[in-house]
Every structure is written in C-alpha cells, then in structure tokens.
Amino acid sequence: MRISVAQLAQLVGGTLRGNGDVVIEDAAGLAEAGPTDVSFLSNPKYKAHVKTTRAGVLLVSSDEGLEEKTVILVKNPLEAWGKILTILNQERQKHPVGIHPTAVIAPTAVLGAHVALGAFTVVDDGAVIGDRTVLYPHVYVGAHSRLGTDVLVYPHVTFRERVTVGDRCVFQPGVVIGGDGYGFVLAQGRHMKIPQVGTVVIEDDVEIQANTTIDRGAVGVTRIGRGTKVDNLVQIAHGVDIGTDTLVVAQTGIAGSARIGNNVTLAAQVGVAGHLKIGDNVVAAARTGVSQDVAPNQVIWGAPSQPMRDEMKTLACLRRLPKLMDDFQELRKKLTS
C-alpha cells in the first residue's frame, strides 16, 4: 500500500490535521509504528503511547494535545482502522484460484462462475457452490449442501449433507457445520442414538471462527442469523436459533433448542441451558451461566445469571465474608467468656 495521508483521510471519511503529503505504506500499533505507518487510538488505556509514537498519521476521535502530530479525525477510529486493514489484507492475501487437479467434484455437483477449489477439496453429490466462492485445501462439502456467493472457506472445514450457507460468509480453519446433535435416549439401560435428520442454515455475512462446531437440528433447523459472528471454540447444539448481528465469544456453549435474539453478546465461556429464550440486545458477561429465560435489553452476569448490578453486590458481600467471620468469632468469644 502506498497512499498519501490526504488520500487516506478521504478513504475513511475523516478530517485531516497536519501534513497531507506524507506517504503511508503500512499499518502498525502505536508502540511499533514508524514514519510510513498509520496507527490509531480508540482505547484510552493506550493514550500515553500517543505522544511517543513515531507513526506518520494517527486515527483519533480528538486531537486535543496532539497539535504536533498529523492526525485524521474520525468518529470511530476502530472502524476507520478496520477499513484500512481491509485494504491491506486484500493486497497481501492471495486466495487460491481455479480448480486444483486433486480436487474431487461429484458429477452432479454444480459450481458457479470463478469458483476456486484448493488441493484435496471434496464437493459431494448435488452440492451447489456459488459464484466466486473460495474453498481452501481439504474442505469437504457434503451431499446437497449449498454455499452462496463470495463465501470464503479456510482449510479443514466440513459442511455435512444438506447444509445451507448464505452469501459473503467466512469460515476459519477447522469449523464443522452440520455434525450430529448430541441426541440419545436411555433404553433398557443403554444410551440409544436418536438419528439427527435436520439441517443447519447459516444466513448472509456470518463469520464462524476456528474450531467451532454447529450441530444439525434433530428434525428441524439450527439457524445462525444474518451478520452474526461466532468466535473460536464455540459449541452450538442442535435446534439452536440465533438472531441477527449477535456476537458469540470464545468457549461459549449453547444447549439444544435455545433461542438467542438479535444484537445479543454472549461473552467468553458463557453457558446457555437448553430450551431457553434470550431476548434482543442482552449482554451476558464472561462466564455467565444462563439457566432461565432472559428478557430483552439486560446486562447479566453470574452463575446462575442475574442482573449485573446485583451480581456485583453479591461479589462485594462475598469479599467481606472473611472479615465478617473474624468479627463473628471475636463476638462469640466475648459472649461466652
């Protein structure tokens, strides 16, 4: 990337303060940036680094105290940073093109225009791959599954049979979509498997990150709504329905048939019990255990979950218990002496 600061300001829709002729070639963090790098500040925690950074230009929401720096004023520095990194990524990352000779494509499979299939990919009977979709090496697309247009699939991803994926989705390495749900019944003292004959539907603009598993419905659909982002090492069980633009963070587990609303955030290591409903705009803080329905527009924490304010009061009381216990023992000694 070679772009002037003035051009960069236009690109991110910001206001330039300083030398617009500086040429930017790369992006870097505040501490590592040099004179040809762009950097940014969005977290006040790193404000001390701004004055010492050597970055050629800074993306900031305020230029207070930065009169000697070249800055681009934007409403959301992190969003502007994301736009710049998107350009850098497009320049640097070269996806597979064409169909590798070791790819295995069933005669009944349908490939769209400009599809790329990496080495040892398998596209099974009746599968459909949309235009410009890229499958890296060792991807498996099961029978009668459908992948939309501009889908990006990294190595060792598995789509089992009859899975449907929308447009512009991204799947990081090791994802498994449509594996059997955990369905068993105790019969005559033994665990008998209940066949999982449903499917998975993933809507447009979803990203699923590395080593996450999304199980097929037992008889119906496991659904991931448009624009939802699922982090690494997440387990989503059979029949779960997740709404639009929801964030599911690392090591979260969602049990069968749970219903998660729109714009929900499930922070790291959240556990959601089966058959529950979580309303729109709920935030569940890290390590929350959700054991009952949650109404919309709440921030919850704890196991079992409760409103965050209540959980913080509970924790404050718990921290006082040793002192209270000492006081109790002292009082008992006085009463019994």
Residue 134's SS3 state is strand
Report angle CA 91, 60, 72 to the nearest 5 degrees: 65
The answer to whether the beta carbons of residues 44 and 33 sit under 8 Å apart is no
Residue with tokens 């295995």: 104
Q: Give dist(CA 333, CA 335) in Å, integer.
A: 6
**Which residue from 273, 275, 281, 216 is spatially nearest to 246, judged by alpha carbons?**
281
CA within 13 Å, CB half, 78: 3
Q: Give dist(CA 55, CA 61) in Å, integer.
A: 16
Pairing relationship of beta strands 26-27 and 23-24 according to DSSP bridges: unpaired
Where does 86-193 show beta strands of DSSP type E? 104-105, 110-111, 116-117, 122-123, 128-129, 134-135, 140-141, 146-147, 152-153, 158-159, 164-165, 170-171, 176-179, 184-187, 190-193
Q: Is 238 a catalytic residue?
A: yes
H-type alpha helices, the chain:
5-12, 47-50, 77-92, 308-336
Q: Which residues, in sequence order, are CB contacts of 38 under 8 Å at separation 6+?
A: 8, 24, 26, 27, 28, 55, 56, 57, 58, 59, 84
Active-site residue among 100, 156, 238, 275? 238
Q: Give dist(CA 278, CA 271) in Å, integer.
A: 12
Q: Inter-axis angle of helices 77-92 and 5-12, to 10 degrees?
A: 110
Residue 89's SS3 state is helix
Q: Point out the residues that are catalytic.
A: 238
